[in-house]
Structure 1
């Protein structure tokens, strides 16, 4: 039987894996993730718009000596990701329930080592450009949280969003920019770690090509 939203939100409220408004740690965590939450100084990797946390969970299994945080506003999705992390006994995972534009309230400059943007809403309407997770204002925000030389990754099936993002990065003369309009026919596959999100699997089954890029701050 499917759990109700209320039951899921109750679990999230009681879960140490999910940080959200109302929990004391939510207000205190900025600049303190390493020692207040993870209890180590391992690099922190962020997945923004993480959904169920496919990349967060997948990378946490691959790299036990790194810490991973998935960020999303949808409680039901984070419920799924936090349950999976708990079932798999992962201690290097956290989920942050918040709007992406508000994450500077939970992270200090330089606290993050790497960022993944995985299959965000393409926001195709012209008036929604500023809401795209790869718009200039979001890229500026991500870069402010990263150390110089850190990687930002982006995966999507949406051609318009990919071309839009590439245009912004090329105008900004992004460092070490690498990209492919068809990831699975390129030599960049290994950079994506063999992890596929729920949406990616669906898009591939529909015959769509996956676009990928990375650059350094």
Structure 2
């Protein structure tokens, strides 16, 4: 999908106090950045930020960092934060492949992946955020008892993700469902994203898995 360029998005993101510049300089020092020792949860591919900001409002005892590669998308989250001003939320405009350069070992407690790009062509499989390549990256900075939570409406991507975890020698599957909204145990406390509302309203079942190391 071609993203619409929004004039001024780069400048607005760079100027926002909620967007962290030169993120690699904080590697190993993220608790100092937040000025507390609260757990750090990140969402990779956060889009317009509704999911992350809803979580942050409910859990002020957790620090949240949203990662979004495109400024034209991140701009929408910045605009929301101008109103909400949540102290426990910040954003990074970064490529997910660079995250081990930004977070030190044992620095992140939870990773959220919501409705990630499925990269449907086989030759692009390594770009999927649940591929072995990315699981290896997450392993470099997730805490020993940390976990990964992944939601999608794409059944093929979900099957791929399950297989990547099940064939990994460092990750294991804690729970999974192919119909989240009709699974009482996994849907309890579920926070929906904009995409999730859109897809589920059309009758698309939502898949979710939870994995840890």
TM-score under structure 1 normalisation? Answer: 0.90
Aligned to 2:144: 148
Aligned to 1:11: 12
Structure 1 segment 32-47 matched on structure 2, within 5 A = 32-35=29-32, 37-47=33-43
Structure 1 segment 35-184 matched on structure 2, within 5 A = 35=32, 37-172=33-168, 174-175=171-172, 177-184=174-181
SS in 1 for 2:100: helix
C-alpha displacement at 1:5, in angstroms? Answer: 2.3
C-alpha displacement at 1:40, in angstroms? Answer: 1.1
Tell me, in whole angstroms, the C-alpha distance in 1 between the residues paired with 2:156 and 2:117. Answer: 12
Alpha carbon RMSD of aligned pairs, Å?
1.5
Query: What residue ranges of structure 1 are gaps of 5+ in the alignment?
Result: none
Asked if structure 1 preserves the Cα contact closer than 8 Å seen for 2:180 and 2:206, the reply is yes
Tell me, in whole angstroms, the C-alpha distance in 1 between the residues paired with 2:211 and 2:127. Answer: 21
SS in 1 for 2:192: coil
Tell me, in whole angstroms, the C-alpha distance in 2 between the residues paired with 1:136 and 1:28. Answer: 27
Alignment match of 2:186 (pick from 184, 188, 191) = 188
Tell me, in whole angstroms, the C-alpha distance in 1 between the residues paired with 2:23 and 2:133. Answer: 24
Query: What residue ranges of structure 2 are gaps of 5+ in the alignment?
Result: none
Tell me, in whole angstroms, the C-alpha distance in 2 between the residues paired with 1:189 and 1:109. Answer: 30
Tell me, in whole angstroms, the C-alpha distance in 2 between the residues paired with 1:17 and 1:179. Answer: 33
Tell me, in whole angstroms, the C-alpha distance in 2 between the residues paired with 1:26 and 1:181. Answer: 36
Instruction: List per-residue Cα deviations over 1:23-43 (Å, max 9, x = no partner).
Output: 4x43411111111x2111111
Structure 1 segment 193-204 matched on structure 2, within 5 A = 193-204=189-200
Asked if structure 2 preserves the Cα contact closer than 8 Å seen for 1:18 and 1:78, the reply is no
Tell me, in whole angstroms, the C-alpha distance in 2 between the residues paired with 1:26 and 1:166. Answer: 31
Residues paired across the two proteins, number: 207
